[in-house]
Amino acid sequence: MTKKQLQIGVLALQGDFERHEHQLSLVGAYPVQVRLPSDLDQLDGLIIPGGESTTMNYLVDRYNLRSPLLAFGKARPIWGTCAGMIMLAKNIEDNLSGVEPFGLIDIDIVRNGYGRQVFSFTDKVEATLNGSLAVLDATFIRAPRVTRAGSGVTVLAHYRNSPVLVAQGRVMASSFHSELENDTRVLEYFLKQFVAP
Ligand code: GLN
């Protein structure tokens, strides 16, 4: 029996959606750029990429995607990286940006929470994926820091005492970028754990 090819959307309003598309191709999934509400129809899951959450938030409204994305996230698997994590969070601390997060995962975050001077760095992060330890090269680019994770949230990885990879129900969120290299372990975890268990 041949396995059905998974169709995974990548919100393609701005940000680094192309890197996620590349990784999806590497694991044999079919990437779909999402810009219209109807682009969500056939998807098995969705990735909200990194980028700039203030711009993304604005474009979500411009493209009439707010309630379709919220409905999607309540029913189907969704993974947000970096700015995508900000969009999925319950609450943004000291929110002066006007970003209205979807509240799909019970975490609070602070934007740019790993320091403004150091805009970008890569470090090792130890994650527990499918019960085994994975040492990942994680890139933090003005990344959000998780300041609270609710009791229903599973923390899959910490970095400097803060959760950096979290999940609740079918929603996963990561502070760091795992899609910049060809290491697809975090993506494969998302697909196996939440999209096609
Ligand atoms: N600091 C950015 C924001 O607040 C996120 C950065 C990223 O996605 N790499 O939107």
- What is the residue extent of each domain of the chain? 3-195
- Name residues contacting ligand 1 (CB within 6 A): 50-53, 82-83, 86, 111-112, 141-142
pLDDT > 90: percent of the chain: 92
16-33 tens-digit pLDDT: 999 999 999 999 999 999
Whether 158 is a known active-site residue: answer: no
Q: How many CB atoms lie within 10 A of CB 104?
A: 23
For residues 175 and 133, is the Cβ–Cβ distance under 8 A?
no
178-196 tens-digit pLDDT: 999 899 999 999 999 999 9
Non-local CB neighbours of 55 within 8 Å, separated by 6+ positions: 13, 14
pLDDT at 35 over 90: yes
Ligand 1 site-directed mutation target among 14, 112, 177, most atoms within 8 Å of CB: 112
Whether 52 is a known active-site residue: answer: no
71-86 tens-digit pLDDT: 999 999 999 999 999 9
pLDDT at 117: 63
Q: Report the CATH fold assignment for 3-195.
A: Rossmann fold (3.40.50)
pLDDT at 2 over 70: no
pLDDT at 143: 96
Integer Cα distance of 8 and 30 in angstroms: 6
Residues 33/39/44/49 CA torsion (nearest 10 deg): 40
Ligand 1 site-directed mutation target among 16, 17, 53, most atoms within 8 Å of CB: 53
